[in-house]
A and B are shown apart, each in its own frame.
Chain A
Amino acid sequence: MGDCHFLEGNLRAKERVEYTKKLLNEIGLGEGRLEMFHIGASDAPLFAEAVEIMTNRAKELGPNPLKCGAEKAEAA
Chain B
Amino acid sequence: MIVAKRKPFNEIKELISGSKKILILGCGTCVAVCLAGGEKEVAILASQLKMALGLVNEDVEIDELTIERQCDREFIEEISTKVNVDDYDLILSTACGAGVQLLSDVFDHKVVVPALNTTFIGVAEGPGMWTERCRSCSDCVLADTGGICPVTICAKGLVNGPCGGTRHGKCEIDPEKDCAWTLIYNRLKKLGRLNRMEQALPPKRYSVQQYPAKIVHEAYRRRYE
Interface membership of chain A positions 1-33, coded 1 if the CB is closer than 8 angstroms to chain B and 0 otherwise: 000000000000000000000010011110000
Interface membership of chain A positions 43-63, coded 1 if the CB is closer than 8 angstroms to chain B and 0 otherwise: 000000000000000000000
A62 to B: closest C-beta gap in Å: 13
- Asked if A23 contacts B57 (CB within 8 A), the reply is no
Instruction: Count A/B pairs, Cβ under 8 Å.
Output: 26
Q: Is the interface of B mostly helix, strand, loop or mixed?
A: helix
B48 to A: closest C-beta gap in Å: 5
- Asked if B55 contacts A28 (CB within 8 A), the reply is yes
| A65 in complex: contacting residue of B9, B48, B55, CB < 8 Å | B55
Q: Which residues of the other chain, A, contact B165 by a CB distance below 8 angstroms?
A: none
- Asked if A26 contacts B9 (CB within 8 A), the reply is yes
Q: Which residues of the other chain, A, contact B10 by a CB distance below 8 angstroms?
A: 26
Q: Is the interface of A mostly helix, strand, loop or mixed?
A: helix
* Number of A residues with CB within 8 Å of any CB on chain B: 9
A4 to B: closest C-beta gap in Å: 17
B22 to A: closest C-beta gap in Å: 16
B61 to A: closest C-beta gap in Å: 14
Quick one: closest B residue to A70, CB to CB?
B54
Quick one: closest B residue to A12, CB to CB?
B127
- Asked if A27 contacts B51 (CB within 8 A), the reply is yes
- Asked if A66 contacts B9 (CB within 8 A), the reply is no
Cβ of A69 within 8 Å of any chain B Cβ, yes or no, is: yes
Quick one: closest A residue to B53, CB to CB?
A27
Give A3 to B149 CA distance when docked, in angstroms.
41
Q: Which residues of the other chain, A, contact B79 by a CB distance below 8 angstroms?
A: none
- Asked if A26 contacts B55 (CB within 8 A), the reply is no
Quick one: closest A residue to B59, CB to CB?
A73
- Asked if A26 contacts B48 (CB within 8 A), the reply is yes
A-B contact pairs, 15 of them (CB 8 A): A23-B44, A23-B48, A26-B9, A26-B10, A26-B48, A27-B9, A27-B51, A28-B52, A28-B55, A28-B56, A29-B51, A29-B52, A65-B55, A66-B51, A69-B54
